[in-house]
Chain A
């Protein structure tokens, strides 16, 4: 009797809290109705822009929220704009409602109190489909605790591309890459740090070369940076000498690397977007003999997020958008290689059988790896490493 009473009151309390949550979410949906959400997102890729346009259409239909993409060339533009608004004392009615970001931009905005939240863990789809234990990067964005200040959107992992028509066995580790470069001078390169893919390459190389891997999870100030990174610089000294254009110039980003691969100036390109080879083939930017692969010891992976600025004028609308982006419908569409090919952040186990089927049915691009082929994901080192590695690289190779 007592037991059942306790059980009843407990379930009542649970019911009550979930009812309350429902009511809260309903409140958010009501507030969001008719709002316009200005979504500041990097606009350099057509397939991503198209996907956002598709989402905008669905969101308008389902929630009567207007989603407008403000295309950026650099996420820093949006950070600067929020900063300018703060400097001008515009603490409400800001011009940005939602930003696509991760890593350093997130840390900068969070530390300078430019973000609204916590909100992400309260989104219905987050509660329903996200398993925080599945990946560390869901709760620690480049080592910075997410603390519900941003909602996960997709996953990225470093992949490499090569042309099977000209190259039979691509280099599958950082040391092999150097050996290959020495045998084929001028055919290997990497994007110039501080471009994030370039910095990621440094982290990847450091991860494979350093003797003290545990140091990478600590802040740089707590370890002997020179000692930990010495093998990396010794490696790069050798690599740059035989690199593309003698290491005097480096590509600016993944797209340029793909272009160089297509022009046959280089033999291996890297990207943070696992579908980029398939997309490039489809757009006629790579020959269809190009394939993706990852290093045997794994590659660096991370999660990208959606965040709401502290002065957004449509916070409810932005939450509704972030929630929609976490829905199976949106994530399935996003993962289709013909659409975008960006990996889902949802927990497969938490999906219904039908949704699992839908995920399984997603066709793969001819040059896209599946989850098992992607292998081990190496975690991002602590955020403080990025700046330290970039500065050291600039000092050594860019002056």
Chain B
């Protein structure tokens, strides 16, 4: 009875989250089949599909999308696994771990702009070595970025995705008890990398499957990153579709809608292919795993991955360092290694609107993330109670919004919002953000939450039967580190949302991100640098708190209590 009710609740929650997306999808499906009353089209037809099949730009950009969208996740996964296998539990690696949070917190467009400046022929790398080494007084006519094959785009994607995967892996390691496995296998004479390859990675994979899918979907659908650092003759499919949707020729959106549906199918096919490839690989390596060899040739793959990984992390770090430099720059010409004149003007220009931007941003991010945390806790509690470990509806339904391309359903969603008269309100923005924040929060909370030793809560209820209060002061309080980390991730996801903020808020609520993206439209590095800094400030700060607070929280709280509580002072207990 209770279980049934819980199950129904979970279904309802999942539907509540996915119905908007489904309605949004309808808003794309109908025009894809040429039905769109506002443009006077009232009859279904396959004309848009025929137009799509005949469009050469579609094929060439699809090809590019497939190349970048498949290679990037493969490389990101490979590098993340290599770094993890190599560095797990090493002191040096713990320093690298601290680097992950800021990389995750920086908006991807900003990091792409940093990378673009690092690698372009007139970029920092070239400036550092010119003219004394290269002999170049002027930048060479090389194609180092925006190359037609999309290598620089792949590099940018890896730079953004690898830290995310690594972050998730580190968080899921407790579930497979990596330390003990390593100890046991090392006593059996296996080399470290071989243990990872043969024992740990196969265990880790099922846990991180969903994050990998998220990364795949991201690689296939990303727009802002691809605009900055991707090629434009042609662009990736997502960018091309974006242009089609925004084409002044409004009838172009029929083809665009068909293209968006096609892109969704592509995502589905790629994921299916990925899973099949994984099955095949598992089968192929199954025999090798138990052949008893303590080292293996493929260990070198992991070793190479470490090298690439360090290069990637280093580039990410440098791309991050570039932003604050640009934000303080007045003049910086090729081939100067550093700006020739400095100024605070770039940052000052943001002053007048800073308070409004920050408060909008914080209100939205805090509300959306808090709701997401509570909903995740509720859904996980239901999941625990019903002991339905595998096929819970929300386990896959909540990922729908982040697995589908935004351009595919946001227009339809906007129509829905207008129809229910929620458009242009703060609550609509928060609701839309929730759709994107919740999956990330849920994903990072799930492991620790389900691993929680329920005995503590049972014992607490035995001692004083106040289940609701105990749920918060015992269970959630003990899950503080996981909750804060999940919060930090959700928070930075919310901060980075551009299109949802714009569409739900109808542009009436500016946030740091909408402002930063508008500035990025100008392509002015100084503006982008200062806006990106402002945009990154809050997420980095929250990540830092999530890192620093949990281990010290109780100590600080108790110290504070000692000062505040009079009752404590009446007692002669200061014997410490």
**Direct A–B touching in the complex (beta carbon < 8 Å)?**
yes
Q: Which residue numbers of A lie inside 8 Å of B, CB to CB?
A: 38, 40, 42-46, 68, 70-74, 76-77, 79-81, 83-90, 95-96, 103-105, 107-108, 112, 185-187, 192, 194, 244-246, 248-250, 252-253, 255-256, 259-260, 262-265, 283-285, 287, 387, 394-395, 397-399
Whether B507 lies near A70 (C-beta < 8 A) is yes
Q: How far is the CB of A278 from chain B (nearest CB, A)?
A: 16
Q: Is B278 interfacial (CB 8 A cutoff)?
A: no
Whether B510 lies near A262 (C-beta < 8 A) is no
Q: Is B341 interfacial (CB 8 A cutoff)?
A: yes
Whether B141 lies near A255 (C-beta < 8 A) is no
Question: Nearest CB to that of B341 among chain A residues?
Answer: A284
Whether A46 lies near B518 (C-beta < 8 A) is no
In the assembled complex, the Cα of A259 lies from the Cα of B329 at a distance in Å of 14
Question: Nearest CB to that of B233 among chain A residues?
Answer: A398
In the assembled complex, the Cα of A260 lies from the Cα of B148 at a distance in Å of 19
Whether B524 lies near A255 (C-beta < 8 A) is yes
Q: Is B146 interfacial (CB 8 A cutoff)?
A: yes
Q: How far is the CB of B64 from chain A (nearest CB, A)?
A: 10
Q: Is B231 interfacial (CB 8 A cutoff)?
A: yes
Measured between beta carbons, the chain B residues less than 8 angstroms from A79 are: 248, 250
In the assembled complex, the Cα of A246 lies from the Cα of B148 at a distance in Å of 11
In the assembled complex, the Cα of A381 lies from the Cα of B62 at a distance in Å of 33
Of the candidates B140, B234, B250, the one whose C-beta lies within 8 Å of that of A399 is B234
Question: Nearest CB to that of B421 among chain A residues?
Answer: A90
In the assembled complex, the Cα of A99 lies from the Cα of B30 at a distance in Å of 28
Q: Is B282 interfacial (CB 8 A cutoff)?
A: no
Of the candidates A38, A90, A192, the one whose C-beta lies within 8 Å of that of B232 is A192
Q: Is B424 interfacial (CB 8 A cutoff)?
A: yes
Q: Is B515 interfacial (CB 8 A cutoff)?
A: yes
Q: Is B392 interfacial (CB 8 A cutoff)?
A: no
Of the candidates A40, A105, A397, the one whose C-beta lies within 8 Å of that of B507 is A40
Known: A46-B527, A263-B139, A398-B232. A77 touches B415 (CB 8 A): no
Contact with A along B504-535 (1 / 0, CB 8 A): 00111010001101111111111100000000
> Which interface residue of B141, B147, B234 has the most chain A CB atoms within 10 A?
B141
In the assembled complex, the Cα of A253 lies from the Cα of B523 at a distance in Å of 9
Whether A248 lies near B148 (C-beta < 8 A) is yes
Q: How far is the CB of A89 from chain B (nearest CB, A)?
A: 7
Question: Nearest CB to that of A84 among chain B residues?
Answer: B414
Whether A263 lies near B122 (C-beta < 8 A) is yes
Of the candidates B60, B250, B330, B506, the one whose C-beta lies within 8 Å of that of A108 is B250
Measured between beta carbons, the chain A residues less than 8 angstroms from B521 are: 42-44, 73-74
Whether A77 lies near B502 (C-beta < 8 A) is yes
Whether B414 lies near A81 (C-beta < 8 A) is yes
In the assembled complex, the Cα of A265 lies from the Cα of B136 at a distance in Å of 12
Question: Nearest CB to that of A90 among chain B residues?
Answer: B418
Q: How far is the CB of A221 from chain B (nearest CB, A)?
A: 15
Measured between beta carbons, the chain B residues less than 8 angstroms from A387 are: 249
Residues 31-62 of B at the A interface (beta carbon under 8 Å):
36-39, 56-57, 59-60
In the assembled complex, the Cα of A256 lies from the Cα of B521 at a distance in Å of 10
Interface residue stretch chosen among B7-15, B239-247, B310-318: B239-247
Known: A87-B36, A87-B38, A263-B122. A252 touches B523 (CB 8 A): yes
Q: Is B121 interfacial (CB 8 A cutoff)?
A: yes
In the assembled complex, the Cα of A338 lies from the Cα of B140 at a distance in Å of 34
Measured between beta carbons, the chain B residues less than 8 angstroms from A44 are: 518-519, 521-522
In the assembled complex, the Cα of A381 lies from the Cα of B240 at a distance in Å of 26
- Subset of 27 A-B contacts with CB under 8 Å: A43-B518, A43-B521, A44-B519, A45-B522, A70-B507, A70-B508, A72-B507, A73-B517, A76-B246, A81-B414, A83-B39, A95-B506, A107-B248, A246-B141, A248-B143, A249-B146, A249-B231, A250-B232, A255-B522, A262-B333, A264-B138, A285-B524, A387-B249, A394-B234, A398-B234, A399-B59, A399-B233
Whether A83 lies near B250 (C-beta < 8 A) is yes
- Extra contacts, 5 of them, besides A38-B507, A244-B141, A259-B523 (Cβ < 8 A), are A76-B247, A262-B333, A263-B139, A264-B122, A399-B59
In the assembled complex, the Cα of A23 lies from the Cα of B437 at a distance in Å of 54
In the assembled complex, the Cα of A358 lies from the Cα of B331 at a distance in Å of 34
In the assembled complex, the Cα of A317 lies from the Cα of B419 at a distance in Å of 25
Residues 248-265 of B at the A interface (beta carbon under 8 Å):
248-250
Whether A284 lies near B143 (C-beta < 8 A) is no
Q: Is B179 interfacial (CB 8 A cutoff)?
A: no
Q: How far is the CB of B52 from chain A (nearest CB, A)?
A: 15
In the assembled complex, the Cα of A103 lies from the Cα of B520 at a distance in Å of 24
Contact with A along B479-516 (1 / 0, CB 8 A): 00000000000000000000000100011101000110
Known: A248-B231, A252-B232. A74 touches B246 (CB 8 A): yes
Measured between beta carbons, the chain B residues less than 8 angstroms from A185 are: 141
Question: Nearest CB to that of A240 among chain B residues?
Answer: B233
Of the candidates A68, A81, A88, A262, the one whose C-beta lies within 8 Å of that of B419 is A88
Measured between beta carbons, the chain B residues less than 8 angstroms from A90 are: 418-419
Q: Is B442 interfacial (CB 8 A cutoff)?
A: no
Q: Is B343 interfacial (CB 8 A cutoff)?
A: yes
Q: Is B98 interfacial (CB 8 A cutoff)?
A: no
In the assembled complex, the Cα of A44 lies from the Cα of B522 at a distance in Å of 5
Q: How far is the CB of B299 from chain A (nearest CB, A)?
A: 38
Whether A87 lies near B415 (C-beta < 8 A) is yes
Measured between beta carbons, the chain B residues less than 8 angstroms from A264 are: 122, 138-139, 333-334
Of the candidates A72, A103, A284, the one whose C-beta lies within 8 Å of that of B331 is A284
Whether B519 lies near A95 (C-beta < 8 A) is no
Measured between beta carbons, the chain A residues less than 8 angstroms from B414 are: 81, 84, 88
In the assembled complex, the Cα of A399 lies from the Cα of B56 at a distance in Å of 7
In the assembled complex, the Cα of A259 lies from the Cα of B525 at a distance in Å of 9
Q: How far is the CB of B166 from chain A (nearest CB, A)?
A: 31
Whether B246 lies near A77 (C-beta < 8 A) is yes
Q: How far is the CB of B144 from chain A (nearest CB, A)?
A: 9
Measured between beta carbons, the chain A residues less than 8 angstroms from B506 are: 70, 81, 95-96
Measured between beta carbons, the chain B residues less than 8 angstroms from A186 are: 140-141
Q: How far is the CB of A322 from chain B (nearest CB, A)?
A: 19
Of the candidates B36, B333, B411, B423, the one whose C-beta lies within 8 Å of that of A263 is B333
Q: How far is the CB of B153 from chain A (nearest CB, A)?
A: 12
Whether B56 lies near A395 (C-beta < 8 A) is yes
Q: Is B370 interfacial (CB 8 A cutoff)?
A: no
Known: A249-B143, A265-B121, A284-B341. A256 touches B523 (CB 8 A): yes
Measured between beta carbons, the chain A residues less than 8 angstroms from B232 are: 192, 249-250, 252, 398
In the assembled complex, the Cα of A108 lies from the Cα of B245 at a distance in Å of 13
Measured between beta carbons, the chain A residues less than 8 angstroms from B520 are: 73
Whether B245 lies near A112 (C-beta < 8 A) is no
Question: Nearest CB to that of A187 among chain B residues?
Answer: B141
Q: How far is the CB of A60 from chain B (nearest CB, A)?
A: 16
Known: A44-B519, A71-B514. A246 touches B143 (CB 8 A): yes
Whether B411 lies near A249 (C-beta < 8 A) is no
Q: How far is the CB of B402 from chain A (nearest CB, A)?
A: 22
Whether A88 lies near B418 (C-beta < 8 A) is yes
Measured between beta carbons, the chain B residues less than 8 angstroms from A46 are: 349, 522, 527
Contact with A along B52-84 (1 / 0, CB 8 A): 000011011000000000000000000000000
In the assembled complex, the Cα of A96 lies from the Cα of B506 at a distance in Å of 9
Question: Nearest CB to that of A393 among chain B residues?
Answer: B233
Contact with A along B523-555 (1 / 0, CB 8 A): 111110000000000000000000000000000
Q: Is B227 interfacial (CB 8 A cutoff)?
A: yes
Measured between beta carbons, the chain A residues less than 8 angstroms from B411 are: 80, 84
Measured between beta carbons, the chain B residues less than 8 angstroms from A397 are: 233
Measured between beta carbons, the chain A residues less than 8 angstroms from B415 are: 84, 87-88
In the assembled complex, the Cα of A253 lies from the Cα of B228 at a distance in Å of 12
Whether A105 lies near B148 (C-beta < 8 A) is no
Measured between beta carbons, the chain B residues less than 8 angstroms from A73 are: 517-518, 520-521
Contact with A along B328-354 (1 / 0, CB 8 A): 011101100000010100000100000
Measured between beta carbons, the chain A residues less than 8 angstroms from B39 are: 83, 112
Known: A45-B522, A77-B246, A105-B248. A85 touches B233 (CB 8 A): no
In the assembled complex, the Cα of A285 lies from the Cα of B423 at a distance in Å of 39
In the assembled complex, the Cα of A90 lies from the Cα of B57 at a distance in Å of 35
Measured between beta carbons, the chain A residues less than 8 angstroms from B36 are: 87
